[in-house]
Amino acid sequence: MQIKTQDILNKWKLYTLTNDTGMTVSFLNFGGIITDISVPNRYNQLENVVLGYKNYVDYEKNPYFFGAIVGRVAGRIQDASFTIEDQLYTLVANEGGHHLHGGDGGFHQVIWQASPFQTDDTVGVKLSHRSLDGEGGYPGTIKVSVTYTLTNNNELILDYSGTSNKTTVLTMTNHSYFNLNGNLAASIHNHHVTIESDEFVELDKELIPTGKKINVAKTPFDFRTERKLADGINSLSAQNRVANHGYDHYFILNQTNRPNVSVNEETSGRVMTIKTTQPGVVMYTSNNLEDDLELAEGKSKPYLGVCFETQASPASLHHDDFPPVILKAHELYEKQTVFSFGIKG
């Protein structure tokens, strides 16, 4: 187990975690951005399975949130406003009239304090940040941390915590785009996905939740048994079309002892499972990813990666009966998501 540190652009640090099996995870203290996760394929070849820029300077803007910590609130807040305890809060509208992923000065664009650590069978870095009352329009001075831990079982554990001196809103996630082919050898069309979910959230044409939950049965959103992502990408279903031919939807997770999400890719043999204490996950199939971004392994294009954004639901700020994002003053926010990598037997 080891940690390496590298200076980037004379202002950031790049941390690379390596376990005893050779798996590596690299990330910046800027935005907590995961730039590379290298895991073996069926032939024991290490290859990168996340999208990242070829040039680090491109992370400064990072309009697609590649690999970043997202917050204070992951997802879209309708009309860039919400009410807590009869007080209206107005945020910056950075996607049409709505607020997306914490706004322009969100957690993805700050330098986090980093504290590396190591044990006999883990290696990691704790990232910490303090966001002041009123930043981005959000109430409360909030102290948050995200800890990245790599184990010898090829698990990447993400532990999130936070407290606020005022009642506020908080639901953080990581916005990595996964491609299990390795080194962007192909699109994600043939990724087989299982999601333990009976319901997903309907979106309007601006990708804002309508407040309606839809049963997945007999739809391209039924991942209770594994199906290819191509099913939804090629579907004429209204909800796949509203997301620009793919998925950008919140799935409400069933509480089971099985992994919440499983992904496998037959050519590489890679399998990724996700277990989370969050109540739901947004699956986004990079439908809107533009062509010709300079990525580490080549040019970008739509459907080159799939995000699994484990989180609560910002729809709860405008609709009843959705997983809440409100954090009471001095209450502890504590969530965990575990990404495990292996080979299909």
The span from the CA of 272 to the CA of 270, in Å, is 7
Pairwise CA distance, residues 307 & 315, whole Å = 19
Q: What is the dihedral of CA 226, 229, 235, 239, to 10 degrees?
A: 90
Give catalytic residues, as residue numbers: 175, 309
What are the average pLDDT values for consecutive 10-residue runs of the chain, which has 345 residues? 96 97 97 98 97 97 96 97 96 95 94 97 98 96 98 98 98 98 97 98 96 97 98 96 97 92 97 98 97 94 98 97 97 98 91
Question: What DSSP character marks residue 331?
Answer: P
Q: How far apart are CA 254 and CA 342, in angstroms?
A: 23
CATH number at residue 55: 2.70.98.10
Burial of 180-209, coded b for 16+ CB within 10 Å and e otherwise, reads: bbbbbebbbeebbbbbbbbbbbbbeeebbb
All residues at 6 or more sequence positions from 334 whose CB lies less than 8 Å from its CB, including other chains? 159, 160, 161
Q: Answer whether 272's CB lies under 8 Å from 242's CB.
A: no
Q: Which residue has the tokens 């996950």?
A: 281
Q: How many domains does the chain have?
A: 1
* pTM, two decimal places: 0.97
Please report the pLDDT score of residue 304 as a whole number: 98
Please give the residue range of the domain that contains residue 67: 2-343
pLDDT of residue 100: 96
Place of tokens 């959705």: 322
- Residue 214: enclosing H or E segment and its boundaries? strand 209-215
- The pLDDT, as a whole number, for residue 345 is 73
